């Protein structure tokens, strides 16, 4: 059970930082709180008392979404549901709608935020592979001598390990910026013990763009989570996929390449099999959505990823 002495809801970054300074060492920042409340329930963390909860969802900048000049800027308090019901966002980030579908249920998607999914730094966080594939940068803010200071860093550098990030104690994750990829075909694959409301055993994001012949991949982006302490981009696979026209042989080679990345201490062989199948299926689906001619190829590969 979670209890608190005060619940604050600032409407600006200045107000949020003032609350953090006033209650230093006694507060916890929340947005959707969809992880905070389960963590605090009996049997997980026991009875938890947090003196001050600071809810940052009413700060307008943290819910702002903009697409311009080939970039997407998403406020950290943006609910996961927006990737499903905002057509412009779904077009600019082609694998995020499929990721959002896997993300729990409608009620939780409306509460859970993309920033919360990032700062929790779960090795199996659903949102991290798509964001890594989009070359996401995180924007962090703090206040010093009355002035708000910002810094940016690559998402892959921000995630340091399970539950660990480069976020300083006096900082707020304000937004993330990533590549807009409306011309790419995208896919997201996930497996767990249930269809939703589940922590992924493995999840994978795939983005591909084809040349004018529709026979060659000119940009491949893949990222995986759930197989090691941090999610990771599959750069070797990406380079291989762009090395020659795509074929059954190339896709099988590419799918086999990342299986050695599995570092989890449990169910290693299962995860290797899943990674192989996910890369194949993700590529087939993404290639089809990018306009690739895969009608004859897909049935031959289906037995490998079904």
What's the pLDDT tens digit per position in 150-182?
Answer: 999 999 999 999 999 999 999 999 999 999 999
Q: How confident is the model at residue 36 (pLDDT cuts 50, 70, 90)?
A: confident
Among the listed ranges 56-70, 87-101, 153-167, 182-196, which one has the minimum average pLDDT value? 182-196
Mean pLDDT of 68-89: 97
Res 261: pLDDT = 81
Comparing CA positions, the residue from 162, 174, 234, 232 lying closest to residue 199 is 162
Say if residue 303's pLDDT is above 80.
no
Percent of the chain with pLDDT over 70: 92
Residues 6+ apart with CB under 8 A from 100: 80, 81, 83, 84, 109
Among the listed ranges 72-86, 96-110, 129-143, 185-199, which one has the minimum average pLDDT value? 185-199
Architecture of domain 185-305: 2-Layer Sandwich (3.30)
How far is residue 181's CA from residue 199's CA, in Å, rounded to a whole number?
27
Percent of the chain with pLDDT over 90: 70
Length of the chain: 306
Res 298: pLDDT = 74
- Measured in degrees and rounded to the nearest 5, phi and psi for residue 75 equal -60, 145
Res 199: pLDDT = 61
CB 298 within 8 A of CB 283: no
Mean pLDDT of 229-256: 94
Q: How confident is the model at residue 9 (pLDDT cuts 50, 70, 90)?
A: very high
Q: Say which residue the tokens 């950290």 belong to.
A: 76
Q: How confident is the model at residue 201 (pLDDT cuts 50, 70, 90)?
A: confident
CB 202 within 8 A of CB 281: no
Say if residue 245's pLDDT is above 90.
yes
Contacts 24+ apart (CB under 8 A), 1-4: 1/40, 1/41, 1/42, 1/47, 1/48, 2/36, 2/37, 2/40, 2/41, 2/48, 2/49, 2/50, 3/47, 3/48, 3/49, 3/50, 4/49, 4/50, 4/51, 4/52, 4/53
Res 300: pLDDT = 76
Res 283: pLDDT = 96
Architecture of domain 60-179: 2-Layer Sandwich (3.30)
In this structure, what is the dihedral angle of CA atoms 134, 189, 84, 103, given to the nearest 10 degrees? -110
Cβ neighbours around 92 below 10 Å, total = 22
CB 285 within 8 A of CB 298: no
Alpha helices in the chain (DSSP H): 13-22, 36-40, 82-85, 87-92, 96-102, 106-111, 114-119, 128-133, 155-158, 235-241, 248-256, 268-289, 297-305
Question: For residue 72, what are the β-bridge partners?
Answer: 67, 178
Say if residue 40's pLDDT is above 80.
no
- The mean predicted confidence, pLDDT, of the chain is 90
Res 41: pLDDT = 64
Among the listed ranges 90-94, 201-205, 262-266, which one has the minimum average pLDDT value? 262-266
Mean pLDDT of 91-110: 90
CB 79 within 8 A of CB 115: no
Res 116: pLDDT = 92
CATH 3.30.43 fits 2-55, yes or no: yes
- The model's pTM is 0.92
List the domain boundaries for the chain.
Answer: 2-55, 60-179, 185-305
Among the listed ranges 1-5, 139-143, 288-292, 298-302, which one has the minimum average pLDDT value? 298-302
Res 196: pLDDT = 47
CB 276 within 8 A of CB 256: yes
């Amino acid at each position: 059970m979670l209890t608190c002495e005060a619940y604050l809801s600032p409407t600006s970054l200045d107000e949020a930082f003032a609350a953090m300074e006033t209650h230093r060492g006694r507060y916890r920042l929340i947005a959707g709180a969809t992880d905070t409340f389960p963590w605090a329930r009996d049997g997980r963390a026991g009875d938890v008392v947090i003196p001050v909860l600071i809810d940052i969802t009413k700060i307008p900048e943290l819910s702002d979404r903009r697409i311009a000049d080939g970039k997407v800027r998403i406020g950290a308090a943006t609910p996961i549901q927006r990737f499903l019901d905002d057509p412009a966002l779904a077009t600019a980030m082609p694998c995020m709608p499929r990721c959002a579908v896997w993300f729990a249920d409608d009620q939780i998607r409306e509460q859970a935020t993309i920033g919360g999914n990032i700062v929790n730094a779960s090795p199996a966080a659903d949102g991290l592979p798509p964001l890594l594939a989009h070359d996401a940068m995180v924007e962090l803010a703090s206040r010093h001598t009355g002035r708000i200071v910002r810094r940016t860093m690559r998402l892959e550098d921000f995630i340091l390990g399970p539950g660990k990030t480069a976020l300083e104690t006096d900082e707020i994750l304000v937004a993330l910026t990533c590549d807009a990829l409306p011309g790419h075909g995208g896919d997201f694959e996930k497996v767990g013990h249930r269809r939703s409301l589940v922590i992924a055993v493995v999840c994978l994001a795939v983005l591909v763009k084809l040349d004018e012949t529709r026979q060659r991949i000119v940009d491949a982006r893949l990222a995986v989570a759930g197989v090691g302490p941090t999610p990771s981009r599959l750069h070797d696979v990406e380079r291989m996929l762009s090395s020659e026209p795509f074929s059954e042989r190339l896709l099988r080679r590419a799918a086999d390449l990342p299986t050695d990345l599995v570092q989890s201490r449990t169910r290693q062989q299962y995860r290797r099999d899943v990674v192989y199948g996910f890369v194949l299926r993700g590529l087939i689906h993404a290639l089809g959505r990018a306009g690739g001619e895969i009608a004859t190829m897909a049935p031959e590969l289906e037995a490998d990823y079904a």
